[in-house]
Amino acid sequence: MVSEHPQQGRCRGVSGDPARLVPARLVPARIVIVGGGPAGLYAAELLAAALPGRAVVTLYDAMPSPGRKFLLAGRGGLNLTHSEPLERFVTRYAPQQDWLTPMVQACPPQALRDWAAGLGIETFVGTSGRVFPTDFKAAPLMRAWLRRLRALGVQMMVRHRWTGFAPAPAPAPAPNGLTGVTFQAPDGPVTVQADAVLLALGGGSWARLGSDGAWMPLLEQAGVAVRPLRPANCGFLRVWTPDFAARFAGTPLKAIAVRTCGDDGTLTPWRKGEAVVSADGLEGSVIYAVSRLLRQQLEQAGAARLHLDLLPDRPAGAVTAAVCRPRGSRSWSTHLKKELGLDGVKLALLRDCTGPDLWADPRRVAAALKDLAVDLSGPRPIDEAISTAGGVCRDALTDDLQLKALPGVFCAGEMLDWEAPTGGYLLTGCYATARRAADGIERFLYPLSQCSA
């Protein structure tokens, strides 16, 4: 370890505790951050701001510029976080809610809005409760963020792909306390020495933007327990009839509600939203909201069932009464359009997911309109998913998100084994884990036991 001696005085650390005492170093600590997504960038900012003159923070990224996935995700309107009460907010991280809750409490949604405001980016709460920049754009925030990082002295090395450690790390720290980190750079292999390392390499979706999961075997080889990466916030596959697929692929399903089998084996409450029919299944925000549960069914039973309410704003009794009115010589299509305003994709979906015997009983038709079973055969490919589940196991990490097998190496962001639905929860989780890891790095470099009063 680089030699250090205690220095009297107080310094506000990443944790925000003004009573934290930090020792001075004869040589600034070298902090290497691998990954230029939100988690890596935020940790770099926190550490550079907390340890001025005490650390040199260098961020490495495989892409030509940082924040590629962040920028693409923000093209449709950057959903920074969500405004719902914190006690409800943290439930979105089930089944790892107990793990993520204290991290999110230390980095809550309002703190992210304040952080964005400090960059000159004002935010607002949309009708759905989601929080967006007032201009809906990610690029201005990223530009302001990079300016702040440069002003703080953060060094950035792009086109550097992480390839592991050198020499191979052992359960005990190396004699000099340093970790060798290796990269494939434009001019060939590069090895850098670090006093502390943060891996923030993302999950396994959107490989063309850098999140390709290539870090998984590297950590496994180093003795770190990981769970396989699986698609999350993704669409699902369904075999439609050729006519339905040809006519309605790409058509939105507006004003619907969905539910499926929950963790306890019972059906979840109905969730309203919108979906989109694809040529071979369903996707869209309301599908993503239940994607974890659907994926679990597929993993456990090889099949999953989604329930659709095609008329969520109409009570079941009213739908039954309308469907059971005499239709005379009218066809079912004409009757349902006249009585319920049902036509187009919803009517076609009802026909595609039911048998011909359904139409002999109006009450069964009404029941299907309010609870239509759609069987799904699998998730869409992982590279099409918005995010991934799996990654570094919770048990492989200390409370500070330091790898137990690799002292001095920390992890943050989507590469950890947690998941959340879209709606601002993913980004908030990445920021929250980055704050926890950054605080852990500060404690690792400047342990309290070495500080004087």
Domain ranges of the chain: 4-231+388-450, 236-379
Task: Kindly report, residue by residue over 55-106, the tens digit of the pLDDT.
Answer: 999 999 999 999 998 998 767 789 999 999 999 999 999 999 999 999 999 9
E strand intervals along 10-99: 24-25, 29-34, 55-60, 81-82
Quote the tokens at residue 133.
């920049």
What is the CATH topology of the domain spanning 4-231+388-450?
FAD/NAD(P)-binding domain (3.50.50)
Which residue, 196, 134, 145, is CA-closest to 444?
196
Which residue, 230, 215, 220, 224, is CA-closest to 60?
215
Q: Is 189 helix (H, G, I), strand (E, B) or coil?
A: strand
Spatial neighbors of 95 by CB under 8 A, at least 6 apart, are 263
CA gap 233, 252 in Å, rounded = 17
- Alpha carbon of 421 to those of 26, 92, 292: distances in Å? 46, 7, 8
First-to-last alpha carbon distance for the chain, in angstroms, is 23
Spatial neighbors of 196 by CB under 8 A, at least 6 apart, are 29, 30, 31, 32, 179, 408, 409, 410, 441, 444, 445
Per-residue pLDDT of the chain (453 residues; tens, 9 = 90+): 333 333 323 333 455 444 344 445 568 999 999 999 999 999 999 999 999 999 999 999 999 999 998 998 767 789 999 999 999 999 999 999 999 999 999 999 999 999 999 999 999 999 999 999 999 999 999 999 999 999 999 999 999 999 999 875 554 454 456 889 999 999 999 999 999 999 999 999 888 888 899 999 999 999 999 999 999 999 999 999 999 999 999 999 999 999 999 988 899 999 999 999 999 999 999 999 999 999 999 999 999 999 999 999 999 999 999 999 998 889 999 999 999 998 899 999 999 999 999 999 999 999 999 999 999 999 999 999 999 999 999 999 999 999 999 999 999 999 999 999 999 999 999 999 999 999 999 999 988 644 433
Query: The whole model's pTM is what?
Result: 0.88
CA gap 26, 11 in Å, rounded = 17
Cα torsion 153, 154, 159, 164 to 10°: value is: 130
